[in-house]
Structure 1
Amino acid sequence: MEALVQYLLPLVLFPISIALIYLLRKGGFATLKLPPGTTGWPMLGENIHFAVLGPQKFISDRMKKYSPEVFQTSLMGEKMAIFCGAQGNKFLFTNENKLLTSWWPKSLKKALLFPEFVENSLKEVSALKRSFIHDILKPEALKQYIPIMDAMAREHVEKEWAPNEEVKVFPLSKKYTFDLACRLFMSIVDPHDIKKLADPFHLVTNGMFSVPIDLPGTAYSGAIKGGKMVRAELLKIIRDRRKELTESKETAGRDLLSRMLLVTDEDGQFMSEMEISNNIIGLLVASYETTSTAVTFVLKHLAELPHIYNEVFREIMAIAKTKGPDDLLTWEDIEKMKYSWNVARESLRVTPPAQGAFRESVTDFTYAGFTVPKGWKTFWTVHTTHKNPKYFPDPERFDPSRFEGSGPAPYTFVPFGGGPRMCPGKEYARLEVLVFMYNVVRSFKLEKAIPNEKIVFHASPTPMNGLPVRLQPLGK
């Protein structure tokens, strides 16, 4: 009898415990007016709907059904409030470090970071809080990058584009942006050394936003494996550079890696090798995935819209005619590319590379009459303003003139985010896109090989076939 009681007691207590936990949690939120919405299926949340519909339709459907200001959902195993519109953007951007802090999904950190850092907050593993990172990405510091960008873009176009009648823009854009990041951040130029980083890094970016199931054959398993390989290679590079710096007694720092090794914090402590690796990976992700996507879709629009291409060509050739055959682009040349940058910005509006960003609430707060509890995650999304006719009339029409004069209203054009966490690489991306546009447009006229190529969503919007284009060479 006693044995029977010991067996039955847990069976009785378990459902009672579950019921009590549910009632306590429900009671805790009973006094709060939470954002409307649904959390979907247990464990799965609304991840499947998000993946099937894509971010734009997923969010627009729920804005219509629940609220155009803020609604709740469950993504990546987290309770989440989706903020919508310019006011939602403004609220999140201006309350960074007050009501909210930066946050990455654990599955993403597992793919990118050393295991020792996965449980840490994003601020604890990010060197972006260190002022020198912002300093080296300011326009004044970036001016010295322009000739290097131009020389590499020129070489890339001559080697990868010119010998062919047709090329795939997306993979070539990825190759250029990764090669450039390796050159500028770490002074790596040998194709073999770049490949040792590029191949596993491709696994990481392909799978880091996939369903986080680490089983053989899954994309996420590939991302975990690729992340380990990238980190191992970076540690080797970092240790070799540290040895070089010690032997040469270098103090200035010839690139980002050297500066990271030489800098100390307010307590006089050097950054650890793991911390440097974590931050280089973060910068590689930012400069590789989003920038290559931005370049790809700018060229897509130029191939689709001859009247836009012709205006860009006219502006670019006016600059080219002032330069000798071996002269490289300068900051002054880039500043003349006003129409070209408006075209790039309109492309970023229509097809933004990044879909938004996460935050975590550090306290209960109220927005639009609803309470977002402490610990909930938040997400702002580009589509609630970029594709909203209230802010951009006829939003599907490609119109660079939207950016003339004072341009769009504040908090409506947000491809780089805003507030204290605005992407520090915004100006780097601008230079990279414009330099690449310059070298392609002055060399070729483009024609899409697949007129109605489907766009799918992975980490960023992706042309299903890599955006093949036919090249019509031009006299320079």
Structure 2
Amino acid sequence: MLKHSPEIFQTSLLGEKMATFCGAKGNKFLFSNENKLVTSWLPQSLMKVLTFAETTKSHTDGHSAFTRILHRDVFSPETLKKYVPVMHALAREHMARDWKPNSVVKVLPASKKYTFELASRIFLGEADAERVRKLSEPFAVAMKGLFSVPVDLPGTAYRRAIRAGEALREELMRMVGERKKERDEGKGEGEARDILSKMLMERNGDGEFLSEKEICNRVVGLLVASYDTTSYAVTSVMDHLAQFPHIYNEVFKEQMSIAESKGPGELLMWDDIEKMKYSWNVVRESLRVTPPAAGAFREAATEFTYAGFTIPKGWKTFWTVYSTHKNPDFFPEPERFDPSRFEGSGPAPYTFVPFGGGPKMCPGKEYARLELLVMIHNVVTRFKLEKTIPDEKIVYYATPTPVHGLPLRLHPHQ
């Protein structure tokens, strides 16, 4: 930005000509021109790991059907309210199994385990531990090599990611086949209990059911979206709670007030989440300081001009969270952790963008909010946190990753 322009600059990423948009104006321009000047794009190297390569007419129909299901069923306000007790029940299981027996917990791997099990339960209706393991093991390998150098040779992380992606899709196709058989035999008709069931019931514009491979691709995409960024967000929040005792104390007071209002063994409900106002400000400040994703790609659908520069059709664009999140014009002393930034009307439009914006804003934003707040409640009402490696290094792959997985010492409340 200093060398070229504070608004836009050209670079090359992943072998593509890339126009990087900066600042709130750049965010507003791209978000406002979604499906007009720019369209969705993902690097082919990622698609090769995650999806079936065949592209058919069903792709567009499948996308619109999938979007319908997301907004109508999966992330609708009524459905989200039902997720809260499910999230709390699973978080309790995790606390008892993966946190309480240990004096030190590595937060990142523990968070990944929780988010994947939760996604399997809510999106796939799968609670069987062995079945979840068959999905989670190849999934973890695929995610690890997803952003490695895309060289498909034996022994490389990328080759391992491709093989793991194949194993993951094979297991998912088995699940899709079983559910399809149930559907065709009339079993469970009308009781679409999760996203997989709903997709099998959905028809495209021609009145045909979506193909099994199209459904599998969409489910993989949903697992990726609900897993990586949320796990890192949980880790970052726990890191900040351990670093700043005065902030932890305020969160603790808020969460204990909610815990004390519940009966023995009673699960959290939507109304409890709505009371977690300070905790949510802490989450948002954590997402500002260490955003789980650096930005997102788009492709120029037509030639257009921005800030005096012409972007040719076919070029790729990238908007970046850091050009606003760490900008002192929008957030004074940007490296200081201060949840009060989000009180009142909060930051200016298009400056706080961890979930993107416009028509392609992350549809799972509210789901992530619930998951993060439920996890905070379960941790702080049980433990005080202490970093065992105070200056643990953060490395940046696709997401900011503590090199040792953020080991925290747990001090149970008496």
User: What is the deviation of 1:325?
Assistant: 1.8
Change (3 A) 1:387 1:212: same
User: What is the deviation of 1:127?
Assistant: 5.2
Question: For 1:85-120, what per-residue CA distance to the aligned partner results, in whole angstroms no more than 9, with x for missing partners?
Answer: 000000000000110100000001001011214x99
Q: List aligned pairs for 1:242-253, cutoff 5 A.
A: 242-247=180-185, 248-253=187-192
Give the Cα–Cα distance (whole angstroms) in 2 for the partners of residues 246 and 131 of structure 1.
Answer: 22
Equivalent residue in structure 2 for 1:363, among 275, 284, 302: 302
User: What is the letter of the counterpart of residue 303 of structure 2?
Assistant: D
CA RMSD across the alignment: 1.5
Query: Which position in structure 1 is the counterpart of 2:31?
Result: 93
Equivalent residue in structure 2 for 1:466, among 393, 402, 405: 405
User: What is the deviation of 1:241?
Assistant: 1.2
Question: For 1:373-416, what per-residue CA distance to the aligned partner results, in whole angstroms no more than 9, with x for missing partners?
Answer: 00000000100000000100000000000001100000000000
Give the Cα–Cα distance (whole angstroms) in 1 for the partners of residues 362 and 325 of structure 2.
Answer: 18
User: What is the letter of the counterpart of residue 125 of structure 2?
Assistant: S
Query: Which position in structure 2 is the counterpart of 1:220?
Result: 158
Asked if structure 2 preserves the Cα contact closer than 8 Å seen for 1:72 and 1:81, the reply is yes
Give the Cα–Cα distance (whole angstroms) in 2 for the partners of residues 263 and 460 of structure 1.
Answer: 34
Query: Which position in structure 2 is the counterpart of 1:203?
Result: 141
Change (3 A) 1:410 1:176: same
Alignment of 1:391 with 2:330, yes or no, is yes
Give the Cα–Cα distance (whole angstroms) in 2 for the partners of residues 88 and 120 of structure 1.
Answer: 33
The size of the alignment, in residue pairs, is 412
Give the Cα–Cα distance (whole angstroms) in 1 for the partners of residues 57 and 356 of structure 2.
Answer: 23
* Structure 1 residues not aligned, in runs of 5+: 1-62
User: What is the letter of the counterpart of residue 205 of structure 1?
Assistant: M
Provide TM-score, normalisation by structure 2. 0.97
User: What is the letter of the counterpart of residue 236 of structure 2?
Assistant: F
Give the Cα–Cα distance (whole angstroms) in 2 for the partners of residues 121 and 185 of structure 1.
Answer: 22
Query: Which position in structure 2 is the counterpart of 1:111?
Result: 49
* Structure 2 residues not aligned, in runs of 5+: none
Give the Cα–Cα distance (whole angstroms) in 2 for the partners of residues 389 and 120 of structure 1.
Answer: 47
Asked if structure 2 preserves the Cα contact closer than 8 Å seen for 1:334 and 1:434, the reply is yes
Query: Which position in structure 2 is the counterpart of 1:346?
Result: 285
Alignment of 1:167 with 2:167, yes or no, is no
Change (3 A) 1:373 1:293: same
* Structure ranking higher on relative contact order (CA contacts 8 Å, 6+ apart): 2
Asked if structure 1 preserves the Cα contact closer than 8 Å seen for 2:192 and 2:201, the reply is yes
Query: Which position in structure 2 is the counterpart of 1:130?
Result: 67
Alignment of 1:450 with 2:389, yes or no, is yes
User: What is the letter of the counterpart of residue 2 of structure 2?
Assistant: K
Question: SS of the counterpart of 1:130?
Answer: helix
Question: SS of the counterpart of 1:65?
Answer: coil
Asked if structure 2 preserves the Cα contact closer than 8 Å seen for 1:103 and 1:121, the reply is no
Q: List aligned pairs for 1:17-416, cutoff 5 A.
A: 63-117=1-55, 126=63, 130-135=67-72, 136-247=74-185, 248-416=187-355
User: What is the deviation of 1:244?
Assistant: 2.1
Provide the identity percentage: 64
User: What is the deviation of 1:179?
Assistant: 0.3
User: What is the deviation of 1:121?
Assistant: 12
Give the Cα–Cα distance (whole angstroms) in 2 for the partners of residues 435 and 357 of structure 1.
Answer: 27
Alignment of 1:418 with 2:357, yes or no, is yes
Give the Cα–Cα distance (whole angstroms) in 2 for the partners of residues 120 and 387 of structure 1.
Answer: 43
User: What is the deviation of 1:128?
Assistant: 6.8
Give the Cα–Cα distance (whole angstroms) in 1 for the partners of residues 53 and 79 of structure 2.
Answer: 33
User: What is the deviation of 1:207?
Assistant: 0.9
Question: For 1:117-139, what per-residue CA distance to the aligned partner results, in whole angstroms no more than 9, with x for missing partners?
Answer: 4x999857645763121122122
Asked if structure 2 preserves the Cα contact closer than 8 Å seen for 1:127 and 1:275, the reply is no
User: What is the deviation of 1:219?
Assistant: 1.2
Give the Cα–Cα distance (whole angstroms) in 1 for the partners of residues 38 and 316 of structure 2.
Answer: 9
Asked if structure 2 preserves the Cα contact closer than 8 Å seen for 1:206 and 1:459, the reply is no
Query: Which position in structure 2 is the counterpart of 1:45?
Result: none
Give the Cα–Cα distance (whole angstroms) in 2 for the partners of residues 159 and 232 of structure 1.
Answer: 29
Rg bigger for which structure? Answer: 1
User: What is the deviation of 1:266?
Assistant: 3.0
Give the Cα–Cα distance (whole angstroms) in 1 for the partners of residues 253 and 116 of structure 2.
Answer: 29
Give the Cα–Cα distance (whole angstroms) in 1 for the partners of residues 350 and 60 of structure 2.
Answer: 24
Change (3 A) 1:123 1:72: farther
Give the Cα–Cα distance (whole angstroms) in 2 for the partners of residues 417 and 90 of structure 1.
Answer: 10
Give the Cα–Cα distance (whole angstroms) in 1 for the partners of residues 202 and 66 of structure 2.
Answer: 13
